[in-house]
Amino acid sequence: MSHDERTFVMVKPDGVQRGLIGEIVGRLEERGLKLAGAKFMQIDEELAHEHYGEHEDKPFFDGLVEFITSGPVMAMVWEGADATRQVRQMMGTTDPAEAQPGTIRGDLGLDLGQNVIHGSDHEDPGANEREIDLFFDEEELVDWEKSDAEWVYEDA
Active site residues per annotation: 118
- Helix then strand then coil, in percent of the chain rounded to 5, is 40, 15, 45
**Positions of E strands within 43-85:** 72-79
The answer to whether residue 84 is domain-embedded is yes
The total of structural domains in the chain comes to 1
In CATH, what number is assigned to the domain containing residue 119?
3.30.70.141
The answer to whether residue 156 is domain-embedded is no
133 burial level (CB within 10 Å; 0-12, 13-18, 19+): exposed
- 8 labeled binding residue: no
User: What pLDDT does 20 receive?
Assistant: 99
Give, for all 156 residues of the chain, the pLDDT tens digit.
345 799 999 999 999 999 999 999 999 999 999 999 999 999 999 999 999 998 999 999 999 999 999 999 999 999 999 999 999 999 999 999 999 999 999 999 999 989 999 999 877 878 889 999 999 999 999 999 888 777 766 665
Which domain does 45 fall in, by range? 6-145
- 40 labeled binding residue: no
Strand, helix or coil at 77?
strand
| Region of residue 33 (left: phi > 0; alpha: psi -120 to 50; beta: else) | beta
Q: Compute how many other C-beta atoms are within 10 angstroms of the C-beta atom of residue 125.
A: 10
The answer to whether residue 81 is domain-embedded is yes
User: What pLDDT does 2 receive?
Assistant: 45
The answer to whether residue 31 is domain-embedded is yes
- 60 labeled binding residue: yes
